[in-house]
């Protein structure tokens, strides 16, 4: 995968792991629902399209609700 570059994506998302999770969830959403946020894409695959959305700034990480306590944090 050459575009978008990992360096340009790291400016938008702080962690590689967060980026992978975000892109995979968005790719699944595109596969199931077919909705698209950009007019045109260079990539033919949904994961590449999701990464293009991150690079364009239309897809970002949601802020986590601090009031939620997960079982493994207790």
Flag whether 41 is in a domain: yes
| Confidence tier at 58 by pLDDT (50, 70, 90) | confident
pTM assigned to the model:
0.74
Q: What is the CATH number of the domain that holds 46?
A: 3.90.940.10
Flag whether 47 is in a domain: yes
Closest CA to 46 of 29, 21, 22: 29
How many structural domains are present in the chain? 1
Q: What is the mean pLDDT of residues 35-63?
A: 85
Q: What is the pLDDT of residue 34?
A: 85
Res 48 pLDDT > 80: yes
Instruction: Convert 7-36 to b/e letters by CB count within 10 Å (16 or more is b).
Output: eebeebbeeeeebeebbeebbeebeeeeee
User: For residue range 5-43, what is the model confidence (pLDDT) as tens digits?
Assistant: 777 787 888 888 888 888 899 999 999 998 888 888 888
Closest CA to 46 of 56, 33, 57: 33
Q: How many helices (H) and strands (E) does the chain have?
A: 3, 0
């Amino acid at each position: 995968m050459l575009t978008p570059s990992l360096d340009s994506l790291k400016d938008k998302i702080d962690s590689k792991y967060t980026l992978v999770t975000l892109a995979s969830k968005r790719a699944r959403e595109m596969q199931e629902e077919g909705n698209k946020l950009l007019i045109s894409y260079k990539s033919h695959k949904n994961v590449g399209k999701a990464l293009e959305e991150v690079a364009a700034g239309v897809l970002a990480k949601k802020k986590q609700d601090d009031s939620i306590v997960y079982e493994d944090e207790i």
